[in-house]
Structure 1
Amino acid sequence: MKRLVSLVLAGLLSACSGLSNDAKLAQQNEWEQLGYHDGVTGRFARSDAALEQLSPLSQDGKAQYLQGYRYGIEDYCTPYKTYEYGKNGVAYMGQCKNTQHEKLAVQGWEAGYQYYLTHSDLLFWPNDE
């Protein structure tokens, strides 16, 4: 019985110690990598408070995070990629505001989303056969 309890407790402790990838990057002071990941996945930049929840944040860490985020969001906001996001039905939430290719990125997303809407309507079109 003691052995079973020990195994259960060990399993619970290992499950609790599992950190998210974001928390691991922050605790390893990989702020630029975390920022890049947030940007390239289309997230908005995190607030200081949100970053502090992951790990203590220095001014240098914040600057590194923002630099990585700028690189990531620029990669996310290329017109070809935004077209693909729209085509797949991904909603545009303004992530590309103030990026280098903002206008083209939004146009790409709109064109892709129009394609998505046109083709998703066909799924519900009555079959006259």
Structure 2
Amino acid sequence: MMKNIIALALLGTLVGCVSSTEQLAESGDWYQIGYQDGVKGHTERSYKDLAKLGGAKQSEYNEGYTEGVTEYCNPNFAYQMGISGQYYEGVCEGMPESQKFRMEWQRGWAEYSN
């Protein structure tokens, strides 16, 4: 019984993670849209781009984006991102460890590109 509950909880978590941007916009979860963009290292969407998805709440999006990009910009994972071929869009510039992040990413990217 306990295993079934745990399995259902994990499944619910996984299903929640695969929500598309359109689904999140439809449900009004602008924070999660911002978080997903940030944690994937995508550049921040403009208000115009958000408005195309529906009744955008820019402040909620910005809050989520800031949290996501802060997680993404961890220099301890930058090398792995580069060596796996993940392109860096420059979203960490201006962050406290941006230079270290960029250097580690470039080191991994150089190995990936060879």
Does residue 85 (structure 1) correspond to residue 84 (structure 2)? The answer is: no
Q: Percent identity?
A: 32
Matching of residues 1-80 of structure 1 within 5 Å? 21-57=20-56, 61-80=57-76
Displacement over 6 Å in runs of 4+: none
Name the counterpart of 2:98. 102
CA-based RMSD of the aligned residues comes to: 1.6
Displacement after TM superposition at 1:35 (Å): 0.3
Deviation at 1:102, TM superposition (A): 1.0
Corresponding pairs, count: 96
Alpha carbons of structure 1 residues 55 and 63: separation in structure 2 relative to 1, 3 Å: same
Query: Structure 1 CA distance, aligned partners of 2:96 and 2:63?
Result: 14
Query: How far did 1:98 drift?
Result: 2.0
Higher CA-based Rg: 1
Q: Give CA-to-partner distance per residue, 1:44-85, whole Å, 9 cap, x none.
A: 11111110111112xxx2111001001101111111222111
